[in-house]
Chain A
């Protein structure tokens, strides 16, 4: 039983970490594309690369980046909820 628990924890950790990294790469890429398009749409001038890097740094500190932790939190909540509803409620 205990070993089963450890195995599940390990699988979940590995699987969710893969999902987390894929999603964070995707999200970063989407943000960068958005910034590049805004640079053109707003007709901004000056150092384009520096402006985009600034935007990316804001993203790294922003709320959206932190919301990615939900990738770990939501499955764990689902796990606890399943145990509760199957065995106790």
Chain B
């Protein structure tokens, strides 16, 4: 029972961390841009999936309604589409330090093409498209690519995830070293000290038995018999 709960909590933690990374780390879509526009967008309970207010594009409007730039794109299959928002990011999280939303919008408009002669681009973005919550991935960068079948290796994510794994490994090493060099000797010392105290106590008790022991034994004779 207890192990099941423990494993359940571990899986939950792993899931949360995984979702968090999946939301935050950059991903690239190969798409064709078909439209770019601004739209006054009400922001309510889903605010956490939009830029915070003290970013460049955040302060331009009030907190509840914001003029947001959007980019519409279609995937190489010609049917499935994606809508990206194009907002500045803040200083803390997510750490993209993006301030060039206007420029990016101009680039997106520049790459906009007809379906007949498509210009394929790789849109670097983070975030999710969840219609129920009205949230959109944030486009970070647009680079032209040769064709719809181009293979993009996510070097950056490989590096970031490797660094994270390395950090976890080092944290474990540090903990093991701390336990071996500081914690275990301290516990040993405490154990030895305790043994010493106990040994001294035995000696003292034996010595005290002389006078004190006789006195308490005499006192005990005055106690009533234990009642049933």
A82 to B177, CA, bound (A): 34
Closest to B90 in A: A4
Asked if residues A7 and B181 are in contact (CB atoms below 8 Å), the reply is no
Contacts of A23 in B (CB 8 A): 170, 174
A76 lies within 8 A of chain B by Cβ: no
Task: Bin chain A's interface residue count.
Answer: 20 to 34
> A82-B95, A86-B140 in contact; A4/B54 too (CB < 8 A)?
yes
Asked if residues A4 and B92 are in contact (CB atoms below 8 Å), the reply is yes
Give the segment of A26-34, A37-45, A52-60, A61-69 that binds chain B.
A26-34
Contacts of B55 in A (CB 8 A): 1, 4
B166 lies within 8 A of chain A by Cβ: no
Asked if residues A8 and B91 are in contact (CB atoms below 8 Å), the reply is yes
Asked if residues A22 and B100 are in contact (CB atoms below 8 Å), the reply is no
B23 lies within 8 A of chain A by Cβ: no
A62 to B181, CA, bound (A): 23
Asked if residues A26 and B173 are in contact (CB atoms below 8 Å), the reply is yes
Asked if residues A86 and B141 are in contact (CB atoms below 8 Å), the reply is yes
> A22-B174, A29-B181 in contact; A79/B54 too (CB < 8 A)?
no
Asked if residues A29 and B97 are in contact (CB atoms below 8 Å), the reply is no
Q: Which of B128-162 contact A (CB under 8 A)?
A: 140-141
Asked if residues A87 and B99 are in contact (CB atoms below 8 Å), the reply is yes
A3 to B53, CA, bound (A): 12
Asked if residues B181 and A33 are in contact (CB atoms below 8 Å), the reply is yes
Smallest CB separation, A79 vs chain B (Å):
7
A26 to B97, CA, bound (A): 33
B98 lies within 8 A of chain A by Cβ: yes
A83 to B98, CA, bound (A): 7
B75 lies within 8 A of chain A by Cβ: no
Smallest CB separation, B214 vs chain A (Å):
50
Q: Name A86's contact: one of B56, B92, B100, B177 (CB within 8 Å).
A: B100
Contacts of A30 in B (CB 8 A): 177
Asked if residues B54 and A87 are in contact (CB atoms below 8 Å), the reply is no
B96 lies within 8 A of chain A by Cβ: yes
A88 to B100, CA, bound (A): 8
**Subset of 10 A-B contacts with CB under 8 Å:** A1-B55, A1-B91, A5-B91, A7-B92, A23-B170, A29-B177, A79-B97, A82-B97, A86-B96, A87-B103
Known: A7-B91, A29-B178. 12 other contacts (CB 8 A): A1-B54, A4-B54, A4-B55, A8-B92, A22-B174, A23-B174, A26-B177, A29-B182, A79-B95, A86-B97, A86-B140, A88-B100
Interface residues of A (CB under 8 A from B): 1, 3-5, 7-8, 11, 22-23, 26, 29-30, 32-33, 79, 82-83, 85-88
